[in-house]
A and B are shown apart, each in its own frame.
Chain A
Amino acid sequence: DQQVKQNSPSLSVQEGRISILNCDYTNSMFDYFLWYKKYPAEGPTFLISISSIKDKNEDGRFTVFLNKSAKHLSLHIVPSQPGDSAVYFCASTGNQFYFGTGTSLTVIP
């Protein structure tokens, strides 16, 4: 039962270009959506979140967009930097905390 799905297991982007990571969810009752970044051998690190009552939240190079009618959210990173190379998880909160399967982003110098 996948409440949160990330359909792209990997993404490669040139340094300086935009990275767009996508996430779909099934439960319209989720109230918050979050993006986490994970380096190998480390725990996930919180990046940015968005409330279900908003459609956009921006923090520096990171912007999250929420399309409630499509049950879709995306994370935009611009400009992408080599240090952004990591696995990105979207997550949602209801009674529990659901993670997507992750997208491995590689930013090519």
Chain B
Amino acid sequence: EPEVTQTPSHQVTQMGQEVILRCVPISNHLYFYWYRQILGQKVEFLVSFYNNEISEKSEIFDDQFSVERPDGSNFTLKIRSTKLEDSAMYFCASSLGQLGNQPQHFGDGTRLSIL
């Protein structure tokens, strides 16, 4: 069964540095998403992406964050000037459509640790 893959599985970065988290969505999916889960807290929506542009974003997704689909297969989340509170699991997801009967498929996440 096709799956969403995320790299790296664990990223350690110094505070203030930029980090890029990478995702390869399922190949025929059209919608792409990033979520984060701070340790012990709920999974939080960050952003959705469709047709090469952001379709929705949450309050968390401020100017520090950006997303890109640079080559038709990868979907990246860039975090500039990382802060300690950016430490979390970041999950990428993709879906064929936006309806609830076309659910999102998640990768196994990237654990981001900011030192």
Set B44, B98, B105: member contacting A99, Cβ < 8 A = B44
> How many A-B pairs fall under 8 Å by CB?
58
Q: Hey, which chain B residues are within 8 Å of A50, CB to CB?
A: 100
Whether the pair B42, A32 counts as a contact (CB closer than 8 A) is no
Q: Hey, which chain A residues are within 8 Å of B4, CB to CB?
A: 43
Chain A positions 62 through 106: 1 when the CB is less than 8 Å from some CB of chain B, otherwise 0: 000000000000000000000000000100010111111110000
How far is B101's CA from A73's CA once the two chains are assembled, in angstroms?
16
Chain B interface residue count, Cβ-Cβ cutoff 8 angstroms: 24
Q: Hey, which chain A residues are within 8 Å of B18, CB to CB?
A: none
Q: Report the nearest B residue to A92, measured CB to CB.
A: B100
How far is B40's CA from A52's CA once the two chains are assembled, in angstroms?
30
Q: Report the nearest A residue to B103, measured CB to CB.
A: A46
Q: What is B's interface to A at a CB cutoff of 8 Å?
A: 4, 33, 35, 41-45, 48, 56, 58, 91, 93, 98-101, 103-109
In terms of DSSP, what is the predominant structure of the interface of chain B?
loop
How far is B41's CA from A100's CA once the two chains are assembled, in angstroms?
10
Q: Report the nearest B residue to A91, measured CB to CB.
A: B43
Set A33, A45, A46, A97: member contacting B45, Cβ < 8 A = A97
In terms of DSSP, what is the predominant structure of the interface of chain A?
strand
Query: Which A-B residue pairs are the 5 nearest by beta carbons?
Result: A32-B100, A43-B106, A46-B103, A99-B43, A101-B42
